[in-house]
Amino acid sequence: MRAITYSTYGHADVLELTEQPTPKVGPDSVLVRVKAASVNPVDWKVREGYLDAIMDVDFPVVPGWDVAGVVEQVGLDTPELQVGDEVFGYVRKDVLHGGTFAEYVSAPVRTLATKPASLSFEEAAAVPLAGLTAYQTIARTGVREGQTVLVHAAAGGVGSFAVQIAAARGARVIGTASEANHDYVRALGAEPVAYGDGLAERVRALAPEGVDVVLDYVGGEALATTKDVLADGGTVASITEAAARDELGGVYAWVRPSSGDLAEVARLIDAGSVRVEVAEVFELADAADAHRASESGHVRGKVVVRV
């Protein structure tokens, strides 16, 4: 099969289009014919070797954890799925090797759910990792109707889903973004505020009592304002810094594959509560450019790769 691979850690130019054996299919996995994949910042962080201390690697690595496609072959015991089923998933495995930037990926059934009927494969591929991250941080902080929620990096992959999921729960949402993304963030259902100097004051101007939940999807200065913007009894979740847990008593989250959570995200999408923003679609052979686009740090929504 054709696949994007890298045989050493490095910059985007280590990515090349190569011929690889079609992956074997474990007893609780299915073979997915990949229609589309998407890029998450973790893909280029992994490629650079930043996660080498916590993940074993088996080169050559096929990058990519997000997929949308069609079940081509089932495993020995996978009653959940049949050949021909349209699925999407966050296919993170314990060893870096067989990712989704390829014609086929072997995916444990626990990583997959039925593709939302209302989405194209390209839109569906944009959902799993970012949508699950938003869903799981919102679930873990217990966001509920009547609360005020501050979403940092509201225009990004994770933030775009979080704004909509929190709003669907009946929360009032404030979202940080650059001026250029304020109309976009408003359309998602949040009141936009600019990040940078004076952020805490701008949030306080909108929510004088403070916010009930901070969802941090960028870290640094944004997370550092937490104590200044949080209402009494409020809580924080971060996906970038363990300080949210260790110093602020909140949650530090690392998104987990979950069929059940992904099915719930799909339900919100098919119900019209959550839409998917695709910034740009690249061909598989241009995967390096897709990574570079994500590395800019200013993608609106998601970067997708068509296979």
Interface residues with ligand NAP (CB under 6 A)?
Answer: 40-42, 130, 133, 152-153, 155-159, 176-178, 181, 195, 217-218, 222, 239-240, 253-255, 294, 297-300
Judged by beta carbon, residue 101 or residue 195, the one nearer ligand NAP is 195
Task: Report the half-sphere exposure of 49 (CA within 13 A, side-chain side).
Answer: 8
CB of 201 to ligand NAP, least distance (A): 15
Judged by beta carbon, residue 48 or residue 103, the one nearer ligand NAP is 48
Cα 48 to the center of its chain, rounded Å:
19
CB of 76 to ligand NAP, least distance (A): 31
Judged by beta carbon, residue 21 or residue 297, the one nearer ligand NAP is 297
Could you count the other beta carbons within 10 Å of the beta carbon of residue 275? 16
Judged by beta carbon, residue 74 or residue 211, the one nearer ligand NAP is 211
Residue nearest ligand NAP by beta-carbon distance? 156
Q: Among all chains, which residue has been given the structure tokens 């072959």?
A: 73
Judged by beta carbon, residue 224 or residue 231, the one nearer ligand NAP is 224
Judged by beta carbon, residue 163 or residue 307, the one nearer ligand NAP is 163
CB of 178 to ligand NAP, least distance (A): 3
CB of 31 to ligand NAP, least distance (A): 26
Q: Give the H or E element holding residue 244.
A: helix 243-246
Length of the chain equals: 307
Counting Cβ atoms within 10 Å, is residue 130 exposed (0-12), middle (13-18) or buried (19+)? buried
CB of 236 to ligand NAP, least distance (A): 14
Helix axes 157-168, 128-141, angle to 10 degrees: 50
CB of 194 to ligand NAP, least distance (A): 9
CB of 290 to ligand NAP, least distance (A): 12
Strand 112-114 to 86-90 pairing: antiparallel
Cα 70 to the center of its chain, rounded Å:
21
Judged by beta carbon, residue 148 or residue 294, the one nearer ligand NAP is 294
Cα 130 to the center of its chain, rounded Å:
2
Distance CA 92, CA 84 (A): 22
Instruction: Dihedral sign for Cα 211, 191, 66, 55, please.
Output: negative
Residue 47 tokens read as 């490629």
